[in-house]
Amino acid sequence: MREIRLCRAGGPGCSIRVQVADNFFRRFCGLMGRRGLAADEGLLLEPCRSVHMCFMRFAIDVVYLVPTAGGYRVVKVVRHLRPWYGLSACREAVSALELPAGALQRYQLQPGDRLTIA
C-alpha cells in the first residue's frame, strides 16, 4: 500500500503518516481487523464520501477532504465514531482520512484547514 505524509499548512505542527487505500479491495478492508492506529498514523480512502464502523475494534476520528493543488482542504470533521455503531457521510468530500480517536483534538483540525503532501 502506498504511503504519504500529510502536514497542516500554515498551522501548528501536524505530521501524519498515511497509508492510501485507492482501490476497491483496500477501501473495502479499510481498518477492519486491525487493533488500532498509532498516534501519528492514518488511512486515506480515495475516493470516499462515507464510512461505517462495522467489524471495527476501535473508535476513530474522520476528516473529509477535497483535493487542492499539492494537498487537500478539510470540508468536515467527525469525532469519535464508535466501533460497530458509527456511520458518517459528507456529500462534498472526495476522500476520507481515518485517524485514531482524539487525533482531531490533538491536531486541532477543522473545516477550511489545508493539508499538504510532504
C-alpha cell at 65: 477532504
* Residue range 73-96, pLDDT digits in tens: 999 999 999 999 889 999 999 999
pTM, rounded to two decimals: 0.94
For the chain, give the mean pLDDT: 92
Question: 104 — phi, psi (to 5°)?
Answer: -65, -40
Q: Is the pLDDT of residue 9 over 90?
A: no
| Cβ within 8 Å of residue 16, ≥6 positions away | 5, 6, 7, 40, 41, 42, 97, 99, 103, 107
* Residue range 95-106, pLDDT digits in tens: 999 999 999 999
C-alpha cell at 94: 472526495
**3.30.110.30, 3.40.50.10070, 2.70.240.10, 2.60.120.1140: which CATH number matches 3-117?**
2.60.120.1140
Residue 10: the pLDDT is: 73
Cα distance between residue 68 and residue 39, in whole Å:
25
